[in-house]
Chains A and B, each alone.
Chain A
Amino acid sequence: MTPAWILDIFAAIMLVVAGISACRLLVTRPWAGQMPDADIDVAHILMGVAMAGMLATGLHTLPNSVWVVVFAVVTAWFAWRVAAEARSAGGAGALGAGHHVPHLIHGAAMIYMFVAVTGAAGSAAGAGMSDMGGMSGSMGTLRVPTIGFLFVLLMMGWAVLDLDQLSAAIWHSQPGERAPGISLPAGLRHRLAVAAGGGATLATAGTAPALPAAALAAPGVAADPVTDSVGAAESVAAASEPGTEVVADPAARFLTDERVVIGSRIAMSVTMALMLVLMI
């Protein structure tokens, strides 16, 4: 059997991901202003807790049936977001550029895992999947494993794509290491500059954050919930122009660092793939 301590490590990683998302929600207070991607953080909290419950021996969360309903809602929500994204981006061909697709896949995979599991976990109607003994004991298996395998391939694909995009951008953001042929949008460049602590003037903690008028007035920032994030990114990019200033709380900077945001998603993809493989 897979040792419990290994599964506990992955469970701990999932709880860290959920905790980071929770902190991000607290720091950015979406209920007090615009924060179009709060849904992603909510989904990460739910998935992180649910996956930790599936992996860890002593962690009991919600009954399977409740999780199925929860992730059905999450998946439906991201399906709507993806559809809106596709419409605004000019069709299904643009889906790969959208940032809600992986969350849709994650949500669907969670439903599949809770619905398709059989054996120890599945036979205990209404029991949490943590009842499978942290997978290391009486481990459940998945019905229709072909679907599980397809999800594994998707998870692996998104994980490496995420890491590639993140590392390309970070690499690109550092002077003197520019790879030939790289062309990044100004917004992405600036976001990475902010993440790296350069390219913008940062005030000390506790200083009132400020953005230039041009940034706040940037079109699309609050108009469209789908393109909002890109619009906001570009508005932040505008703040990196000479003579402007971007101020951020250190905690917010850490929580919104791309390495943290995308790293969380990579960790979730890899852990979810691991769980699927263990249950195939």
Chain B
Amino acid sequence: MVSDSPAVAGSRLLSAGHSATARQAVMPDARRRLQLVLAAIWLLDGVLQYQSFMFGRGFSQMLASVAPGNPAVIADPINWAAKIVGEHPVPTNAAFATIQLLIGLGIACRRTIRPALAASIGWAVAVWWFGEGLGGILNGGASPVNGAPGAVIIYALLAVLLWPVAADEESRQPAFVAARPVGATAARVLWLVLWSSLAYFAVTAANRTAQGLHDMVAGMAGGEPGWLGALNRGAAAVLAHDGLAASIVLAILLGVVAVGVFLPLPLSRAAVGLAIVLALLIWVVGQDFGTILAGGATDPNSGLLLAVLAAAYWPASAAARRSPDSTEVRA
């Protein structure tokens, strides 16, 4: 034993504390990485909810605006919730923002991931109803470009598909990450339902008009940075007067994605890859990153979530399934 001065001993411990941040050997596996992306998105939602206009009338008006066109059984609770938020904007919005922050932090923390994911499912379903009016799927305004079937319901779907499973289940390497908690067949059916619904929404009456897509994309340009507004205007020019053809092409591509996960490995990879490309294209050109750059966004919209979801369906190679990496950390 050798004595050391308090300063030196303390400095060594401090070094140890700081260097704990060095990410050596603690590598999250694929599912954990996706869980962390979901956590980061929840955190982003939380800080977006703290924006100034959310504490005024703007937020309650935003809630109330999704009620029209929905059946009374859906619309009445939305109006009720909007009224409460309108009467008490500061405490309700502060609570909403804090809940979302805590969900994000809870998912990022391994000890609390299960309750946090469970809370995210409940919260997402509530917001899908009261905040998004079921994504507009019942009022005829839904489009894959404008965020149908509602960004927040994809949070719930991701929480289910990324749910941590028991240790003994970990030893079985599934065909893709999303298959771990529910099995490959159920996960593929969920994918089919989601993407085929997007294909359907792409060709609903409101979206297949000659100027439908053009107006939707061109309308995004206001308030956005110059480069993004220019991108919107360029895309809108391409779509001008060709809304029907563009909608049909989009529906076909979404349909291919929907059935793609049932195909053999190379084709299913191509389909999932196409899903990621389409999702990111919609997110950038059609949704302008959820209009975060223009201010007033409450979430990054559905494009980013669809891309994350698609990543959870990326088929693992046969070799990878035979030899799981034992050095990775799972949660």
Taking beta carbons and an 8 Å cutoff, which residues of A are in contact with B? 1-3, 6, 24, 27-30, 32-37, 40, 96-99, 102, 136, 139, 144-146, 149, 152-153, 156-157, 159-171, 179-185, 187-188, 190-192, 194-195, 208-213, 215-216, 221, 228-230, 232-233, 235-236, 244-245, 247-249, 252-253, 255-258, 260-262, 265, 270, 273-274, 277-278, 280
Inter-subunit contact B36/A181 (CB<8 Å): no
Interface contacts beyond A164-B39, A179-B331, A187-B19: sample of 10 additional A-B pairs, CB < 8 Å, sorted by A: A36-B11, A160-B36, A160-B104, A164-B110, A166-B20, A169-B26, A184-B26, A216-B4, A232-B11, A261-B20
For the complex, give the distance between the alpha carbons of A164 and B17 in Å: 16
Inter-subunit contact A187/B43 (CB<8 Å): no
> A185 — which chain B residues lie within 8 A by C-beta?
24-25
Inter-subunit contact A191/B20 (CB<8 Å): yes
Inter-subunit contact A188/B24 (CB<8 Å): yes
For the complex, give the distance between the alpha carbons of A159 and B25 in Å: 19
For the complex, give the distance between the alpha carbons of A170 and B283 in Å: 37
Inter-subunit contact B40/A157 (CB<8 Å): yes
Give min CB distance, B59 to chain A, whole Å.
Answer: 12
Instruction: Give the residue of B20, B32, B55, B108 whose beta carbon is less than 8 angstroms from that of A258.
Output: B20
In the complex, the 8 A-B pairs of residues with the closest C-beta atoms, listed nearest first: A35-B11, A229-B19, A209-B9, A232-B15, A29-B7, A37-B18, A33-B8, A28-B10
Inter-subunit contact B50/A274 (CB<8 Å): yes
Give min CB distance, A146 to chain B, whole Å.
Answer: 5
In the complex, which residue of chain B has the Cβ closest to the Cβ of A266?
B105
Query: Main SS of chain B's interface residues?
Result: helix
Between-chain CB contacts (< 8 Å), 11 pairs? A2-B55, A3-B90, A28-B11, A30-B7, A146-B227, A181-B324, A211-B4, A213-B2, A229-B15, A244-B1, A278-B52
Of B155-163, B198-206, B289-297, B309-317, the stretch lying at the interface with chain A is B289-297
Give min CB distance, A38 to chain B, whole Å.
Answer: 8
> B56 — which chain A residues lie within 8 A by C-beta?
1
Query: Does B12 have its Cβ within 8 Å of any Cβ on chain A?
Result: yes
Inter-subunit contact B50/A6 (CB<8 Å): yes
Query: Does B109 have its Cβ within 8 Å of any Cβ on chain A?
Result: yes
For the complex, give the distance between the alpha carbons of A213 and B3 in Å: 9
Instruction: Give the residue of B10, B52, B327, B328 whose beta carbon is less than 8 angstroms from that of A249.
Output: B10
Inter-subunit contact B327/A262 (CB<8 Å): no
Give min CB distance, A50 to chain B, whole Å.
Answer: 19
For the complex, give the distance between the alpha carbons of A248 and B19 in Å: 18
Given known A-B contacts A211-B9, A249-B10, A270 and B101 have beta carbons under 8 A apart = yes
> B32 — which chain A residues lie within 8 A by C-beta?
164
Taking beta carbons and an 8 Å cutoff, which residues of B are in contact with A? 1-26, 28-29, 32, 36, 39-41, 43-44, 47-48, 50-52, 54-56, 90, 94, 101, 104-105, 107-111, 167, 170-171, 225, 227-228, 289, 292-293, 295, 324-331
> A188 — which chain B residues lie within 8 A by C-beta?
20, 24-26
Give min CB distance, A137 to chain B, whole Å.
Answer: 10
Inter-subunit contact B4/A265 (CB<8 Å): no
Given known A-B contacts A28-B10, A183-B326, A97 and B24 have beta carbons under 8 A apart = yes
Inter-subunit contact B13/A210 (CB<8 Å): no
> B329 — which chain A residues lie within 8 A by C-beta?
168, 179, 181-182
Given known A-B contacts A2-B50, A28-B11, A180-B170, A233 and B19 have beta carbons under 8 A apart = yes
For the complex, give the distance between the alpha carbons of A248 and B23 in Å: 25
> A167 — which chain B residues lie within 8 A by C-beta?
108-111
Inter-subunit contact B12/A169 (CB<8 Å): no
Q: Which of A2, A183, A195, A245 has the most CB of B within 10 A?
A: A2
Given known A-B contacts A3-B94, A156-B43, A180-B330, A97 and B23 have beta carbons under 8 A apart = yes
> B227 — which chain A residues lie within 8 A by C-beta?
146
> B29 — which chain A residues lie within 8 A by C-beta?
181
Inter-subunit contact A160/B43 (CB<8 Å): yes
Given known A-B contacts A97-B22, A181-B330, A185-B25, A24 and B50 have beta carbons under 8 A apart = no
Instruction: Give the residue of A32, A181, A262 whose beta carbon is less than 8 angstroms from that of B5.
Output: A32
